[in-house]
Amino acid sequence: MNIFRFAGDLSHVFAIIILLLKIWKTRSCAGISGKSQILFAVVYLTRYLDLFTTYVSLYNSVMKVLFLATSGATVYLMYVKFKATYDHNHDSFRIEFLLIPCALLSFVINHEFTVMEVLWTFSIYLESVAILPQLFLVSKTGEAESITSHYLFALGSYRALYLLNWVYRYMVESHYDLIAIFAGIVQTILYCDFFYLYITKVLKGKKLQLPA
């Protein structure tokens, strides 16, 4: 544990809180990609199966339960409780184009060919692209509400901070994980354009707009 990883975890939790509050307070999931939320739920399910077999620390276990519970709650709110407000028409990204390549890649490139390791690797690859349906939705609608923009910024900050965590661990502990680093770089790159628009638009009180 170091300050960058801790800050990244806080940013991740903050993003989830923003999302859930947005849905619950407005009683609507408009502007949120249900497909991205399904992908994130799959990420946590495949990554945290070791919750029942491996104990690292109380902090680690609490975070795993938190991410599993909140991802399940988000999917429930979007596809059950507030289903009528979900924008099926614009949320049209073909997630099989993400799931299948990530699954195949996890079988080919992993640290160890075991069930748990392949599932963990799959979750790392999938998380790096899970936000694409959300960015695609924003692009199709042409704009994003401020609260949705805050959610995306917090989520992107989480990955950027985790990259700093890997740099720190390499410098201090001589430890690195090429799979996690590569996936983190890919995910951060996907957010770069959004980061620029967020800083130049949203923080100045303007609505974030993307070319359709």
Any domain includes 212: no
Residue 132 near residue 121, CB atoms below 8 Å? no
- Dihedrals phi, psi of 59, to nearest 5 degrees: -60, -45
pLDDT value for 110: 95
Domain residues for the domain of 141 are 3-205
pLDDT value for 204: 61
Any domain includes 91: yes
> What's the whole-number mean pLDDT along residues 20-38?
93
> What's the whole-number mean pLDDT along residues 160-189?
89
Any domain includes 121: yes
How many independent structural domains does the chain possess?
A: 1
Residue 124 near residue 179, CB atoms below 8 Å? yes
- Scanning 2-145, the segments in alpha helix (DSSP H) are 3-26, 34-47, 58-76, 96-108, 115-129, 132-141
Residues 83, 21: Cα–Cα separation, whole Å? 16
61: confidence class by pLDDT, cuts 50, 70, 90:
very high
Any domain includes 211: no
Any domain includes 210: no
208: confidence class by pLDDT, cuts 50, 70, 90:
low
Any domain includes 167: yes
Any domain includes 199: yes
Residues 120, 43: Cα–Cα separation, whole Å? 9
Model confidence over 108-149: pLDDT tens digits? 999 999 999 999 999 999 999 999 999 888 887 766 677 778
Residues 118, 106: Cα–Cα separation, whole Å? 6
Any domain includes 123: yes
